[in-house]
Chain A
Amino acid sequence: MATVPQQENHSYLGAPYGLAAWLLTKDHKRIAILYLISITIFFAVGGMFAAGIRLELTTPQGDLWSPDMYNKLFTLHGVVMIFFFLIPSIPAVLGNFMLPIMIGAKDLAFPRINLLSWYIYVVGAIITLAAVFAGGLDTGWTFYTPYSSISSETAVTTAALGVFVTGFSSILTGLNFIVTVHRMRAPGMTWFRLPLFVWAQYATSLVMILGTPVIAITVLLVAAERALHLGIFDPKLGGDPVLFQHLFWFYSHPAVYIMILPGMGVMSELVAAVSRKQVFGYGFVAFSSLAIAILGFLVWGHHLFVSSQSIYAGLVFSIITMLVAVPSAVKTFNWAATMYKGSVTWESPTYWVLGFMGLFTIGGLTGLFLATMGLDIHLTDTYFVVAHFHYIMVGGAIMAYMGGLHFYWPKMTGKMFSEAGAKASAILVFVGFNFTFFPQFLLGYLGMPRRYHAYPAEPIWQVLNVLSSAGASILALGYLLPAFYFTYSLFKGKAAPANPWGATGLEWQVPSPPPTFNFDEDPVVNEPAYHYKPRHEVHVNG
């Protein structure tokens, strides 16, 4: 057992109070709360855009919104959800809060830069919101040229600037995490004693600092072509539109791993804790994160199979994409094996774990359809793709984020939430999600293209779309519910003990909520992660 000396509780939530004390804080935990509030707002905004999309698609005719309005809705849904919710979600909230505590540090390596990254995020978000009000954005979140650079009449330049600025927030967070993991580990916290969440955050950080500069440059080039008519992507000016796709996906495919890798990290923590058992194959799970991070940089061309990219380039991208399936499968089987002969609780975090396992598995396997070149011809740019990436990003990343948020909520706030509410939320999300997105696989195979404001009035197409929209309303309920019981818990919730789930790890040995500097005396670690020791031999499963 790691030794953390007894300490008196002077919670980080305590004095100093006041807006200034929060907005100028250098405490990683308070910054995590600032992020939590901001991304929750953007999650709600992005969700409303999604509601607009689903309402329109209940009928084949484009009768609710104008075509331009619909195009803006799906564009802003993507931009907000990806850049302002998913990418920061687990790293900036759960990572910011838990990572230093998990490795026995008092804070991140650069507390001021950590605060700066939140401000950069806010400035980027404000610029992007300004674009929404200054004409909106209708390029799709992919900003494909030459539509974005010569044809769109919306506020592309402003939105591009917003994305550009926000990128620096990711880069600084990634940098901070990498230095922290290298330099700030407590005595005895060796690399192979790190919680797997830390490994996943480390791998994610590498992707953030290597990939994000490329998207920043790319959107800047779009803005330059738009404003200055530099010939970069528009063939009429001597540019190449496919070049944009290469640059864009060089970041944006790895960005998928920025979104899902932290989720995998959360899953490793949750599976171990709800099973009270060592993560099965720790080394394989840790290295599969790095393998995914590295391979993730070499697969961008699988978005370009029908873009006129060379066949031979396509072959290379296809085979490397297939290889990503291997570490993903390794993780999934290791999580399942972790539960074998565990002591599995049926408290609320388990519900999110089970939901993640189902949805992520479907999301990952449907990626194989798209990596298979011949089949991708038929499926790409259809609702099959939409369904696939929602299974990964919503079914995987958000499910893990919600699971993590429930799991760490008592630690972050010092309050217990309603177990019944949390279970109901997990079930509603799981059911609503499948109703929303499973029909979209079928629509995709039938040929329904993405980003369609209106679609042919074939009965089966409408049936599937109505199912999807109905499911989305259940999904929305599932996401709304936590807003109530979490808020309620802040005021009326039972005080959380230091270790409500009976889990291992330094984070469960400090009080809930933790004191400002996490540890009054430097902790010393002398055992591996997830070292569950029986208190009474008779109660060991197996």
Chain B
Amino acid sequence: MEKFKEALDIEGEFDLNVELEDFKEWDSMGYISIMSMLDDEYGKEVNADQLKACKTLADLYKLVSK
């Protein structure tokens, strides 16, 4: 969660069901930050389509733990 916030440079409290589209930072540059963070922190190489398919933060977690 903290890493997610840091990557998107956002603050505030929210849970896993938060809609990613609610963040104005969830744009192409946001994708790049997340893609890069997942690669650095988790060694996960995700592609653009996988990332775009994520609707909520929980989806993103699922992607990482696959």
Asked if chains A and B come from one complex, the reply is no
